[in-house]
Homo-oligomer: A and B are copies of this chain.
Amino acid sequence: MRQNERMTNGGGLRERKKARTREAILREAFRLFRERGYAATTTEQIAEAAEVSPATFFRYFPTKEDLVTLDRFPPLVEALAAEPPGAPVTVLRRAFRAAFASLTAEQIAAGHAREVFAVTVPELVAANLRRTPGLLREVAGLLADKTGRDADDPRIRDALGAVFGVVTLVWWQWAGDPAMDGPAEIDKALARLESGLNE
């Protein structure tokens, strides 16, 4: 019966205050990251800018990395699960389209700002990589279902690797050029991958 706190900011004043504190920390953290870089920004500076104590900062984000690391990719996994069967690259391409289509332009833009750091700062790439094996296994399993193959079929691995690599490089380029239409570019790149790269 209780409402979804994520969307409504919860009922009580307590919940709302917590949400505001969390947002303040995130907002100030990213502002500082942009101004002076990730490594050069200390957790104390973030806490001070967000007007909370250092201890409180760590209550909200157990590690500095968590500022940039949490909650990525779920849309893609959901979209993939909902896809009809097909050839591996094709299925993944459709999943990417569906995942982006499920987000508003604002959500994509807001996500992009965060992704710039997640993709650009090595420490954060590392933090995200720490969850990548699990994600890859999950995606491989889904992909195996959709294609009627084994999860450890090398062809699944290779399709996944190729898509993963292609998307990573586009993402990277996107991080450096916010004017780019990321979703469209990803789709074009995957189309090329579908039709053969040696053409």
| B-contact bits for A83-112, CB 8 A (1 contact / 0 none) | 000011110000000000000000000000
Task: Say which residue of B125, B193, B195 sits within 8 Å of A129 (CB atoms).
Answer: B125
B125 touches A159 (CB 8 A): no
A189, CB-defined interface residue at 8 Å = yes
> How far is A198 from B196 in the complex, measured between Cα atoms in Å?
9
Task: Say which residue of B161, B173, B189, B197 sits within 8 Å of A89 (CB atoms).
Answer: B197
| B-contact bits for A156-199, CB 8 A (1 contact / 0 none) | 01111111111111101100000000000100110011111110
Which chain B residue shows the least CB distance to A155?
B192
> How far is A130 from B168 in the complex, measured between Cα atoms in Å?
15
The distance from the CB of A13 to the nearest CB of chain B, in whole angstroms, is 39
A122, CB-defined interface residue at 8 Å = yes
Q: Which residues of B contact A125 (CB under 8 A)?
A: 125-126, 129
| B-contact bits for A115-147, CB 8 A (1 contact / 0 none) | 000000011011101100100100000000000
